[in-house]
Structure 1
Amino acid sequence: MGSTHASTIHSRRHWTECAHGVTKDIVSDISDRTPLGDHKILAEHAYEAIKQAILNLQLRPGTQLVERKLAEQFGISKSPVRDALQRLAGEGLVSQTRFSGMTVQSFDPELVDELCAVREKLEEMAVVLAVPRMTGADLAETRGYLDQADAAMVAGDPQRVVEANRLYHMIFGRCSGNRVLDAMVSGMQDRVRIIALLCWSWEKSVGKEEHEQHFAVLEAAEDGDARRAGRLMREHIRWFREEYRRAYR
């Protein structure tokens, strides 16, 4: 009983932080500016607010998501909140169980292993296909993301680091020339962002080695060596998987 009560307090605290943090303007949009009868707009705003709170760890993995409380926070009915949560569940950011209802998806090492096993194959393929197609502008854009990550590391801003890294990984899918592959690579990056932020919060030293590995992939791409770049990307993701397992709390 005490554990359940503590979990509820924890969830409320994180949601309160969310409402007064990065999602404050979105919450204001929902409660003050949106016609109450427009279900689709209400659901979209609720989706964006909850998603941003999850991606920024303001709603941490395992936090219970109670429709009634979220609806009260937004000043709307439960129905658009329910739609938003179902959409997030489809994206792998929210999990639903028969007994505990909706919670923010937890990422135990086994789930991260499964995700990274898929990433290794898809992102290696994306890099191999992308490198021969990448223009000078594409390579400069890729280097720009790494420069952004470098500056964010110096500033001690993990949110900016993981966002720059997300864009870095996505550009290879975009340049692969395969729209299905691009969508699959992009579709995993929100979960990767959460995992990276968790790992960073447990083991801050991972950022430097990750950054060096990203640069190694880029240098191979700049040399036009698609297979080496693809192999380095696969090895990087495997390293990331092992680091998460080692740091997992």
Structure 2
Amino acid sequence: MDESRGTDKSLADETYRTLLDEILSTKLAGGSVVQERRLADRLGVSRSPMRDALGRLEGQGLLVRNAKGVLTVRIITLADYLSSMAMRLLIEPSAAAQACEHIDDARIADLQAMLDAIAADPDPDPAFVWSFDHALHQGVGEASGNPFLADTIVQMRRYTTIFERQRKLAQRKPGLSDHQSILEALKARNAEAARAAMTLHLEQARQNVLASY
């Protein structure tokens, strides 16, 4: 591979990850106009990797064109949230059950340590709480052994995460007991318990959102 092409790809990947994180954290809020040149200047990259990163995000549905054809950050509606959560309820309990067979003890221990740190901290950093949530749900997807299922979980969680964060619906310590039940089932390699714990966790998250309306 040409060295310059490799550098461009690396920059595009880094730019994509940065923008994805800003969208998921709602630093780039829904409805915001995406100005390629301004973003490129802010991140200190040329317009080529920026254009590549924006194209990927648009392809994933996180950036959309408004009626005037202007690129904007997608606004995640309640309908989007509920549809995404319905998909998660269909597949994540099965992923959790399958993960019992494949997830390694070290990953479970890391997740438990993160959850213990959140529980012990009277005012945990929200970024760390979200990092744990991401690590748990993505870890379950990856450990399911089904890459298509894992990818769908990642995609659906993006919509639910953005919605919850843009409306500031997450609690300081959301779902501690739910998450602990999931980890206990994974530790015990109890597939049916993991399935039930994940179902309960997602359903309670859905109900909490509906209760806020």
| TM-score bucket (shorter structure) | 0.7 to 0.9
Give runs of aligned pairs for residues 169-184 of structure 1, distance below 5 A.
169-184=137-152
Alignment-mate amino acid for residue 102 of structure 2: R
* Mapped contact 1:145–1:168 kept (Cα < 8 A): no
The reply on whether 1:127 has 2:96 as its aligned counterpart is yes
Could you give the per-residue CA deviations for residues 5-58 of structure 1, whole angstroms, max 9, x where no partner exists?
xxxxxxxxxxxxxxxxxxxxxxxxxxxxxx8xx654553343233223223322
Q: Which amino acid aligns with 1:121?
A: L
How much does 1:77 deviate? 5.5
Partner of 1:112: 81
Amino acid at match of 2:90: K
Match of 2:206?
241
Distance 1:67 1:131, change over 3 A: same
- Residue number in structure 2 paired with 1:31: none
Asked if the contact 2:31/2:72 (under 8 Å) is kept, the reply is yes
Inter-partner Cα distance in structure 1 for 2:126 and 2:177:
16
Query: What is residue 27 of structure 1 aligned with on the other side?
Result: none
Partner-residue secondary structure (3-state), 1:95:
strand
The residue number in structure 1 matching 2:192 is 227
Q: CA deviation at 1:186?
A: 3.2
- Establish whether residue 160 from structure 1 lines up as the match of residue 125 from structure 2: no
What RMSD over aligned residues (CA atoms) do the two structures have, in Å?
A: 2.8
Contact 1:124–1:234 (Cα < 8 Å) also in 2: yes
- Distance of 2:173 and 2:46 partners within structure 1: 46
* CA positional deviation for 1:114: 0.9
Larger Rg: 1
Tell me the distance in 1 between the aligned counterparts of 2:103 and 2:39: 44
How has the CA–CA distance of structure 1 residues 74 and 241 changed in structure 2, closer, same or farther, with 3 Å as cutoff? same
User: Where do 1:40-51 residues align within 5 Å?
Assistant: 40-51=9-20
Match of 2:30 in 1: 61
Highest RCO, 1 vs 2 (Cα 8 Å, sep ≥ 6): 2
Question: For 1:65-144, what aligned pairs fall within 5 Å after superposition?
Answer: 65-74=34-43, 78-99=47-68, 101-144=70-113
In the alignment, the residues of structure 2 paired with residue 47 and residue 177 of structure 1 have an alpha-carbon distance, to the nearest angstrom, of: 26
Q: CA deviation at 1:210?
A: 1.3
**Quick one: distance in 2 between partners of 1:209 and 1:228?**
20
Q: For residues 158 and 131 of structure 1, do their structure 2 counterparts lie closer, same or farther at Cα, with a shift above 3 Å needed?
A: same
210 and 198 in structure 1: CA distance in 2 versus 1, 3 angstrom threshold: farther
Aligned length: 209
Q: Does 1:193 align with 2:161?
A: yes
Q: Which amino acid aligns with 2:204?
A: W
The sequence identity of aligned pairs, in percent, is 28
- Once the 2 structures are TM-superposed, how far is the Cα of residue 157 of structure 1 from its aligned partner? 1.4
Distance 2:115 2:22 in 1: 25
On the 8 A contact 2:80/2:159 being kept in 1, the answer is: no
SS at match of 1:183: helix
The answer on whether the counterparts of 1:145 and 1:165 sit within 8 Å (CA) in structure 2 is no
Instruction: Return closer, same or farther for 1:166/1:49 CA change in 2, 3 Å cut-off.
Output: closer
Of 213, 216, 232, the residue aligned with 2:181 is 216
The residue identity in structure 2 corresponding to 1:179 is P
- Cα-to-partner distance string for 1:119-138 (whole Å, 9 max, x where unaligned): 11221111111113344334
Structure 2 distance, partners of 1:102, 1:193, is 21
